[in-house]
A and B are shown apart, each in its own frame.
Chain A
Amino acid sequence: MDEILDGLTQIDCDILVIGGGTAGPMAALKAKKKNPKANVVLLDKANVKRSGAISMGMDGLNNSVIPGYATPEQYTKEITIANDGICDQAAVLRYAEECYGIIRELDDFGIRFQKDQNGEYDVKKVHHIGTYVLPMPNGDTVKKALYRQLRKARINIINRYMATRLLTGEGRVAGAICVNTRTAEFLVVRAKAVIMGLGAAGRLGLPTSGYLYGTYENASNSGEGYAMAYHAGAGLANLECYQINPLIKDYNGPACAYVAGPMGGYTANAKGERFIECDYWSGQMMQEFYDELQGGKGPVYLKLNHLAEETVAEIERVLHIVERPTRGHFHAGRGTDYRKQMIEMHISEIGFCSGHSASGVFVDEHARTTIPGLYAAGDMANVPHNYMLGAFTNGAFAGMDAADFIADVDFADFDMGTVDAERTRVMAPTKRDDGIPPNQIEYKTRRLVNDYLQPPKVTAKMELAQKRFEEVREDMEQGMYVRDSHELMRALEASTILDCADMAAAASLYRTESRWGLYHNRVEYERDDENWFCHTILTKGEDGKPAHRKQDVKPYVVEIAEDEKDAYYKQRVEPSVAAE
């Protein structure tokens, strides 16, 4: 294993789904269900059995809209407000209307959700306004149940192939170029439609631990979805709205207030005082977190040590078995007992992810990107506050729409020269006798991201970042060196990460205002609704560098009253309450 082989195979399919994490499997299932004759291929860099964010399961559905607890209109309103108004509501509303049906399907798959004595879903309030969190105390079953469905539906699964570029022709998508991560052999997949579910760009900033894989996101999500869409000419929206999370310090994973919050846990300052009213992750909340630290009141903690023994035991049971089970190892190693100590938190490095922001490959309510036949869903698509259920639901939309799309089209012709050029690019680091290994290219890029792009954002720093990134790119293109196909995968990831870093800097410089709390806090600019109440769309320009345009926010279908617009800015606990 791992030796570098020279080879290229071509296969054809009707629908290629790239990424077998969360959105991808659901897209494949729905496409196949709608058109059982379609040849659906699900391709993943890792092994679909255990790939993606839900590899070890999930603690709960963060954004479920369940009759009796919330209406689609309320949810759409809350997400619009959380996003400072920048969102096309049609996609959020469709999600809100149809996600309940997806929950029922997941339930039928054997995935278990928390229910009350009457057998009804037991939904909890974590968000600022509405009630949307459905716990999954046995959430470790998610991926296994999903995998069973894939096998049952006879979806063609291809593991350990990394997609690197999309193919286009005749003004639409034509397929994708992929590289085997264990042999470096090429696979060209011709497809009538391509659905991307490649997850977040989780390796953009550098964790403070300095460990490249010590990320919040599954570290195999290095951002190829963004880079591939960019190089294919698709539009990417609002990338300046970074993802920044409040995480367990050093461990860099969720603590997790969504589980502990409904049981009485909360975010506190060093004195154990509550300073934010709502633990739901948003840019405005992260700004308060940042301000608390700047004000000398930190560190910030998750506080559970005031809770009753049985409550703590239940929180422990969930947090140490499901989702990120090594949380338990970490706390044990530090001697942190939820009963006695508070859990130290920090502000994470930056990434791209639509989970808690409005950024990503631009899609409409059918998960269509700006390239015909190309779809995106999940963390990499710009439907805001997707989370797991959003990935499933929008993945379903993509699968169903793609099944219709392929009915009327044949394969698009593409230029074989693109494949040759990609082979040359990919294999370059294997042709040298020595040079810079990918981990150093990656480390330097990500360290520079921290130095210059981490908010608060400063124009001069971001311009310096662009210069430094250019130098690293020169080193990468002229001198990166790998010894085996595994390192080649890392080299390709390093190049993706650099593309994402370039996009992050360019997008942040373009929007000359502050918005979304800490996510796009540009110290030289105030919020400016007159000029910037719009999406920013980033594309690859003629010169091969990011180009930008503004795009109107579509007229709302759910109106937001003037006095509701800024609800997410009212996070701070009034001093009298905090002192209690």
Chain B
Amino acid sequence: MPLAQTATSVPVTVNDDLCIADKGCTVCVDVCPLDVLRIAEAADGSKTAYMKYDECWYCMPCEADCPTGAVTVNLPYLLK
């Protein structure tokens, strides 16, 4: 059974202007209990954190521990 490309909106967003993943920060990726955040590298080599997997417990360590306040946790659409 081949897979489909069904879209899903993710609850956690990262403000690219504030994120300092470029400087080696991975705090939000490290602390997330569900391990759903990753660092993306753009074509120009700049890096930012993003939510890769829509599997969030809306628990907040990512937002609370981010040193620059770049992360916002919203509630997953299905339950908000």
Contacts and interface: CB of A to CB of B under 8 A. Distances in A.
Interface in B56-73: 56-61, 64-65, 73
Nearest to B2: A434
Interface stretch (A68-76, A211-219, A494-502, A532-540): A211-219
B47 to A, nearest CB: 13
A56 B62 CA distance: 11
Nearest to B63: A325
A547 B10 CA distance: 42
Nearest to B76: A211
B34 A213 contact: yes
B30 A47 contact: yes
A50 B79 contact: no
Given A46-B33, A218-B57, A252 B73 contact: no
A481 B57 CA distance: 24
B65 A219 contact: no
B55 interface: yes
A141 B36 CA distance: 24
Interface SS, A side: loop
B72 to A, nearest CB: 10
Interface in B3-52: 3, 30-35, 38, 52
A218 B1 contact: no
Contact of A50 (B53, B65, B73): B65
A47 B27 CA distance: 11
A160 interface: yes
Contacts of A250: 79-80
A436 interface: yes
A340 B13 CA distance: 31
A397 B33 CA distance: 26
Nearest to A330: B75
B16 to A, nearest CB: 20
A49 interface: yes
A486 interface: yes
Nearest to B78: A211
Given A219-B57, A325-B60, A434-B2, A209 B35 contact: no
A435 to B, nearest CB: 6
A56 B78 contact: no
A481 B1 CA distance: 9
B75 A207 contact: no
Given A209-B78, A434-B2, A50 B33 contact: yes
Contacts of A209: 76, 78-79
Contacts of A55: 33, 59, 61
Interface string A40-80: 00000011011110011000000000000000000000000
Contacts of B34: 46, 213, 219-220
A579 interface: no
A489 to B, nearest CB: 7
A486 B80 CA distance: 26
Given A56-B64, A434-B3, A486-B53, A218 B78 contact: no
Nearest to A212: B55
Contacts of A520: none
Contact of A486 (B33, B35, B79): B35
Nearest to B61: A50
Nearest to A181: B35
Interface in A1-46: 1-2, 46
Contacts of B3: 434, 437, 481
Nearest to A2: B38
A563 to B, nearest CB: 44
A210 interface: yes
Contacts of A214: 58, 76, 78-79
Nearest to A159: B30
Nearest to A52: B33
B55 A333 contact: no
A251 B57 CA distance: 10
A326 B33 contact: no
Contacts of B57: 213, 215, 218-220
Given A1-B38, A218-B57, A326 B31 contact: no
Contact of B75 (A210, A219, A329): A329
A473 interface: no
Interface string A472-514: 0000000101000010011000000000000000000000000
B37 to A, nearest CB: 11
Contact of B31 (A2, A47, A211, A213): A47
A56 B38 contact: no
Contacts of B75: 251, 326, 329-330, 333
Contacts of B30: 47, 49
A155 B78 CA distance: 40
Contacts of A51: 33
Interface string A157-182: 00010000000000000000000011
A481 B4 CA distance: 13
B57 to A, nearest CB: 4
Contacts of B55: 212-213, 219, 490
A210 B57 CA distance: 13
A329 B74 contact: yes
Contacts of A437: 3
A534 B38 CA distance: 49
Interface string A431-446: 0001111000000000
The 8 lowest CB-CB distance pairs between A and B, nearest first, are: A209-B79, A50-B61, A46-B33, A50-B31, A211-B78, A219-B57, A326-B58, A250-B79
6 contacts: A207-B79, A213-B55, A218-B59, A250-B80, A329-B58, A481-B3
Interface of B: 1-3, 30-35, 38, 52-53, 55-61, 64-65, 73-76, 78-80
Given A50-B32, A325-B60, 20 more contacts: A2-B38, A46-B32, A49-B30, A50-B31, A56-B59, A56-B64, A207-B79, A209-B76, A212-B55, A213-B55, A215-B57, A219-B33, A219-B57, A250-B80, A325-B64, A329-B74, A330-B80, A333-B75, A481-B3, A486-B53
